[in-house]
Structure 1
């Protein structure tokens, strides 16, 4: 389960399920980034960041790239460079790709966390995102081109 079941703010990381440091709420991730304790890496595609929105200051390192969703051959090198001896908080659309990316970053020897709910959160009953959690839903900084 990617979300805190009762909707409570997670003030501490939750242990990761298999192969990465853990899961953090969007709010905790933002606290860490603001304090300089973590680097945010946005693992969504270039198209998602361009069309849907982005977090100012987050480093764009796609896990998979549009079109075709092929793995990014530069991911390892880029995420190593991004870490610069700080933990990583990884953001995707809903908190799924960022788990895979956090696992890979951990394999590379980095301390990597998944941001729960992602940028847009899970779809609601009408299949619309942005109404059930996510970075934007919580009113955290973001921009759109």
Structure 2
């Protein structure tokens, strides 16, 4: 199994139930750069504003802040964001909400992939993110 530099996450698609699969942030970014996929950021507006965002990603929140209510416009916004024939690679904070969003996207007929580790990765022993993986940790493009 191959891995990308600075990663212990495989650079191949990992099978998943209910959607096309799980991918590393590096593979997702490669697909976006090659024009094969659209990067969908399913985090809240507040997360993107306060924590950072990926330039060019399409914001389609899975849940809304405050209160984390479901985004009633998710289906419509996702369909508008992903042209026919392209994959959707979904990004959240840690790779949990993006699984639920990928399952919904698949129900809508979109070839959808969850980005493993999310934007910030898992929490370390000190309760901090961005030290154990994630989009930012892997050195991929982002802004704040």
Query: Where do 1:44-83 residues align within 5 Å?
Result: 44-83=43-82
Residues 1:95 and 2:95 aligned together: yes
Alpha-carbon shift at residue 131 of structure 1 (Å): 0.2
Number of residue pairs matched? Answer: 137
Task: Structure 1 unaligned segments of length 5 or more: list them.
Answer: 1-6
TM-score by length of 1: 0.93
Tell me, in whole angstroms, the C-alpha distance in 1 between the residues paired with 2:70 and 2:9. 32
Unpaired runs of at least 5, structure 2: 1-6
Deviation at 1:9, TM superposition (A): 4.1
- Identify the residue that residue 3 of structure 1 maps to in structure 2: none
Secondary structure at 1:114's aligned position in 2? strand
Provide the residue aligned with 2:4 in structure 1: none
Q: Deviations over 1:71-108 (max 9, x none)?
A: 00010001011110210000000000000000000000
2-structure distance, mates of 1:59, 1:53: 13
Equivalent pair of 1:9/1:27 in contact (CA under 8 Å): no
Who is 1:30 aligned against? 29
Compute the displacement of 1:8 (Å): 2.8
Q: What's the counterpart of residue 40 of structure 1?
A: 39
Normalization by structure 2: what TM-score?
0.93
User: What is the SS of the residue equivalent to 2:28?
Assistant: helix
Q: Report SS of the residue matched to 1:118.
A: coil
